[in-house]
Chains A and B, each alone.
Chain A
Amino acid sequence: MKILLAEDDFASRKFMDKQLSRYGECDVMVDGEEAVDAFMMALEDGEPYDLACLDVMMPVMDGYQVLKAIRDIEAQKGIPKSKRVKVIMTTALNDERNVKMAFELGCEAYAGKPIDVEKFEKVLTKLGLI
């Protein structure tokens, strides 16, 4: 499985990278814009990502903007809903409005930090990724 990880905080990034590398190849980005670039590139190379884990509080573009951009690009390219990249937001913003907005923007899951690794894996199973 091909994974895109966007996270600006070093400690979190290291942690997530370690976790995610168990499931597949993990590309690590440090800000939102890079994440969109990487997503675009993978799409153009015909090797799209299966999973994107986006932090919300990132420099340049925040996680919501990245999520929206990704969904917009997919819509523009006519990618069917079932083939879209699965997006999991990873953030310490756990208030209801943020979560609901992320859901509306079209993420598959929203993981509050600190991340519950067990549940995270359960979600990956439910999403059919592992």
Chain B
Amino acid sequence: MAEEFNTESMLDMFLYESGQLLEKLEGIILEKQDADCFDDADINEIFRVMHTIKGSSGVLMYENITKVTHKLEDVFYYLRESHPDDVPHMELVEKVLAVSDFVTGELDKLKNGDTPDGDEKELVEDLDEFLGRLKGEIKKQGIQMPQANKHVEPTQFYITPVAGDDSHFYRISIHYRSDTQMSNLRAYSATYALKEVAEDLLYTPDDILSNEASADVIVAEGFHMLLQTKSSKEDVIALIDSSEAEEINFDELSKEEYGRALGEFGREEAEPVVVAPVAAKDDSNKEAKKEGPKPGDYVVKTKEAGKGKTLAKNQPKQQSIISVNVEKMDALMDLIGELVIAEAVVLQNPDLKVPGLELSNFQKASGQLSKITTELQEVIMSMRMMPLTNTFQKMRRIVFDVSRKLGKDIELEVVGENTEVDKNIIEHITDPLMHLVRNSVDHGIEEDPADRTAVGKSSKGKITLEAKNEGGKVYISVKDDGKGLNKDKLYQKALDKGLIENKPMSEFTDKEIFRFITLPGFSTKEEVTEYSGRGVGMDVVVKNIQSISGRLDISSVEFEGSEMTLVIPLTLAIINGIVVQVGNSPFVIETASIKEFVRVGEDSLISEPSGEEYIVLRGECYPFIRLNERYDLPDSIDKIEEGIIVVLEHEGSQVCVLIDKLLQEQEIVVKPIPPYVRKVKGLSGCTQLGDGSIALILDIAGLLMHDGERR
């Protein structure tokens, strides 16, 4: 682990820092979009952001980014120095957003390992023209022209390593004829020839020059090489002297395979990071000379670090105090999960059950331990929590862009943007949320303001984005005061497209009708616009939300507006579950999805000739699943009056399962089912129980789906 610290590459740092700065920039811009002009603090801030990105992109030699940011920096330089009046604010806002989009686009290319090759010319010319007008305005207003903004060319450069993508990785094995003399020298000449083109070369046996006995090994086992190079297979083969060789095996490897192969060849895959040991390898009397910096001496006292601090200070809302690689957080989370399990194993250890043991001190100590592990768990959970601020900021931008493009006047109200959600979940909800917001702007709000005033609403549309935290769930809603959903239209459309059974409309509840819009292939808008209406949206939204065990609620009143609410769990890693037993196998069921436990008699069971079974409870009929049959569990209860029926609910559908007995309720650390186990329908993960045994976690959605398919 240790060598992983602070090895974020220069490029990662650049991407991260610039990304943060751009986010902040958009925050400022969108907050002030409706103001008349930017105030001094904003101008300074935008100037500084542009200056920083310009500087670092200069060092990394991304010239198009440098040019664009430089131009915008110039614009803000004049604004800052001369304070001209009557700056066309909206135009300026658009310019800044254009630059921000351009840079974001280039950063995305870098993130994907592509070359940032976007053409900056048009944007630079555009900015130049704007700057020219600005200067003219400054002159006209009789303000003294500031000295030209001095652009200091960077004096230090960082050459990013070429992307590993165009490197090829080969495994080459040469088998010489058994009567070959001095095969070690032949092997050496092969390596020598390859060094010409090699970026990395490793071979075994590796003592071919110093150890004559290696010749025998080579003849017996062959000579194996790992090669990283830009040359093609043909070129490499041409380099190898193939006389005396009986067989040459040539495999092209992927980068990952190559990494693994390196391990087999006895080398660490990771690049060595420690500098000192290499130098220290040599005789110790040189030690005195070597007062140069050692890795431990690295003190980051660069300007950037200082800037980072002010950045944090000016930005109390975004709590970006330190940045930690998410992988490390995940690793820590995993470890704490293991710790919780290990704790249970210790505290419920069967050895403690020996009669007559004096355990009072042990109990005290274990109480303390439990308290600390619980706290630890809470702390790591809170560390993974992130406010929705950034996500909501993106939504602001979308409302701004789309409403301008469509020519609608829309106000966005944001409530509860500080609501905190697990980082993993934020990643999953951004796209769905974006879709919902777009839909609201595009379909929700009326095109013609007259339609709004006609029903007594103000001509300006309003969208409310709200997040709240309630009972272990997060509710995020997108509400518009637009035209709302028309039930008749929805019903007719779903029927026309053959998406629903042919039943009269009165047999569907309002909620069911609204849910039609989430069916694949449903779109109420006849024309497809740039932003929505392709009919592939809502079903994807629902799928994404379901993948993190959330759901989408829709409510709407015609002419008053609609509300789409995402209901998602606060966190995915630890759930509250009930451990049950079927046969000899423990299963975990998430507490929130259990409706009730009942014991019923044989008379409640309905068996269809096709083998399907149903349970009738208080006049309602539920599909019934025997877990023991589904998962082939021996020694389990077959008669339903001896077992317990659990009624499970997921998104309004219910299913009953038969279990043998209830064991306990506890916090469950969810672990994915290891990849070497085939994916089993109806199981979402596994966990380790206090006694060390593994319990499988039932996935209600999966059970229901499976059940549906069977029918």
A, B assembled together: yes
**Measuring CB to CB, which residues of chain A are less than 8 angstroms from any residue of chain B?**
10-11, 14, 32, 56-62, 64-65, 68-69, 88, 92-101, 103-105, 107-116, 119-120, 122-123, 126-127
Query: Chain B 274-304, CB within 8 Å of chain A: the 1/0 string?
Result: 0110110110001001101100001010101
Selecting from B69-77, B191-199, B257-265, B526-534, the interface stretch reads B191-199
Q: Do B279 and A62 have beta carbons less than 8 Å apart? A: yes
- Contact partner of A116 (CB less than 8 A), chosen from B156, B159, B281, is B159
Q: Do B292 and A114 have beta carbons less than 8 Å apart? A: no
Contact residues of B between 325 and 355, Cβ < 8 Å to A = none
Q: Do A59 and B281 have beta carbons less than 8 Å apart? A: yes
Docked pose: A75 CA to B275 CA in angstroms: 25
Q: Do A97 and B6 have beta carbons less than 8 Å apart? A: yes
Q: Do B279 and A120 have beta carbons less than 8 Å apart? A: no
- In the assembled complex, how far is the CB of residue B195 from the closest CB belonging to chain A, in whole angstroms? 4
Known A11-B195, A96-B6: A114·B161 in contact at CB below 8 Å: yes
Docked pose: A58 CA to B275 CA in angstroms: 9
The answer to whether the Cβ of B557 comes within 8 Å of any Cβ in the partner chain is no
Q: With a 10 A CB-CB cut-off, give which of B12, B162, B201 has the most chain A CB atoms.
A: B162
- Contact partner of A123 (CB less than 8 A), chosen from B61, B281, B282, is B61
Q: Do B10 and A105 have beta carbons less than 8 Å apart? A: no
What residues of B have a CB within 8 angstroms of the CB of A105 in the complex? 293
Docked pose: A127 CA to B162 CA in angstroms: 21
Q: Do A107 and B292 have beta carbons less than 8 Å apart? A: no
- In the assembled complex, how far is the CB of residue A65 from the closest CB belonging to chain B, in whole angstroms? 3
Docked pose: A112 CA to B60 CA in angstroms: 11
Docked pose: A59 CA to B275 CA in angstroms: 10
- In the assembled complex, how far is the CB of residue A111 from the closest CB belonging to chain B, in whole angstroms? 4
Q: Do B275 and A104 have beta carbons less than 8 Å apart? A: no
CB closest chain-A residue, reference B14: A96
- Contact partner of B195 (CB less than 8 A), chosen from A14, A101, A108, A110, is A14
Number of interface residues of B (CB under 8 A): 44
What residues of B have a CB within 8 angstroms of the CB of A32 in the complex? 279
- In the assembled complex, how far is the CB of residue A113 from the closest CB belonging to chain B, in whole angstroms? 6
Q: With a 10 A CB-CB cut-off, give which of B155, B275, B282 has the most chain A CB atoms.
A: B275
Known A68-B293, A110-B158, A115-B162: A59·B6 in contact at CB below 8 Å: no
Q: Do B10 and A119 have beta carbons less than 8 Å apart? A: no
Q: Do B198 and A11 have beta carbons less than 8 Å apart? A: yes
Known A61-B292, A116-B162: A96·B156 in contact at CB below 8 Å: no
- In the assembled complex, how far is the CB of residue B289 from the closest CB belonging to chain A, in whole angstroms? 8
Known pairs A112-B158, A119-B159. 12 more at Cβ < 8 A? A68-B293, A94-B161, A95-B10, A97-B298, A97-B300, A98-B298, A109-B158, A110-B10, A112-B9, A112-B159, A113-B199, A126-B157
What residues of A have a CB within 8 angstroms of the CB of B6 in the complex? 95-97
What residues of A have a CB within 8 angstroms of the CB of B360 in the complex? none
Please name the 5 residue pairs, one residue from A and one from B, whose CB atoms are nearest each other, closest first.
A65-B292, A112-B161, A111-B159, A109-B157, A95-B7
CB closest chain-B residue, reference A61: B279
Docked pose: A65 CA to B281 CA in angstroms: 15
Docked pose: A58 CA to B280 CA in angstroms: 11
Q: Do B157 and A96 have beta carbons less than 8 Å apart? A: no
The answer to whether the Cβ of B664 comes within 8 Å of any Cβ in the partner chain is no
CB closest chain-B residue, reference A69: B292
Q: Do B7 and A116 have beta carbons less than 8 Å apart? A: no
Q: Do A65 and B279 have beta carbons less than 8 Å apart? A: yes
Docked pose: A114 CA to B275 CA in angstroms: 19
What residues of B have a CB within 8 angstroms of the CB of A57 in the complex? 272, 275, 278
**Measuring CB to CB, which residues of chain B are less than 8 angstroms from any residue of chain A?**
6-13, 61, 153, 155-162, 164, 167, 195-196, 198-201, 271-273, 275-276, 278-279, 281-282, 286, 289-290, 292-293, 298, 300, 302, 304
**5 sampled A-B residue pairs with Cβ under 8 A:** A59-B278, A62-B275, A64-B293, A97-B300, A123-B157
Q: Do B292 and A112 have beta carbons less than 8 Å apart? A: no
Q: Do A101 and B158 have beta carbons less than 8 Å apart? A: no
Docked pose: A13 CA to B292 CA in angstroms: 24
- Contact partner of B275 (CB less than 8 A), chosen from A64, A112, A120, is A64
Q: Do B201 and A11 have beta carbons less than 8 Å apart? A: yes
Docked pose: A10 CA to B6 CA in angstroms: 29
What residues of A have a CB within 8 angstroms of the CB of B61 in the complex? 119, 122-123
Docked pose: A65 CA to B292 CA in angstroms: 5
Docked pose: A57 CA to B274 CA in angstroms: 9
Q: Do A95 and B292 have beta carbons less than 8 Å apart? A: no
Q: Do A96 and B195 have beta carbons less than 8 Å apart? A: no
Q: Do A112 and B157 have beta carbons less than 8 Å apart? A: no
Docked pose: A104 CA to B293 CA in angstroms: 11
What residues of B have a CB within 8 angstroms of the CB of A65 in the complex? 279, 290, 292-293
What residues of A have a CB within 8 angstroms of the CB of B161 in the complex? 92, 94, 111-116
Docked pose: A109 CA to B157 CA in angstroms: 4
Q: Do A61 and B290 have beta carbons less than 8 Å apart? A: yes
CB closest chain-A residue, reference B8: A96
CB closest chain-A residue, reference B272: A57
What residues of A have a CB within 8 angstroms of the CB of B155 in the complex? 108
Known A59-B278, A97-B298, A123-B61: A64·B156 in contact at CB below 8 Å: no
What residues of B have a CB within 8 angstroms of the CB of A122 in the complex? 61
Q: Do B156 and A107 have beta carbons less than 8 Å apart? A: yes
Q: Do B160 and A112 have beta carbons less than 8 Å apart? A: yes
- In the assembled complex, how far is the CB of residue A18 from the closest CB belonging to chain B, in whole angstroms? 9
What residues of A have a CB within 8 angstroms of the CB of B272 in the complex? 57
What residues of B have a CB within 8 angstroms of the CB of A60 in the complex? 279, 282, 286
What residues of A have a CB within 8 angstroms of the CB of B271 in the complex? 92-93
- Contact partner of B160 (CB less than 8 A), chosen from A92, A103, A116, A126, is A116
Known A100-B300, A100-B302: A115·B8 in contact at CB below 8 Å: no
Q: Do B156 and A109 have beta carbons less than 8 Å apart? A: yes
Q: Do B281 and A103 have beta carbons less than 8 Å apart? A: no
What residues of A have a CB within 8 angstroms of the CB of B11 in the complex? 94
Q: Do B298 and A101 have beta carbons less than 8 Å apart? A: yes
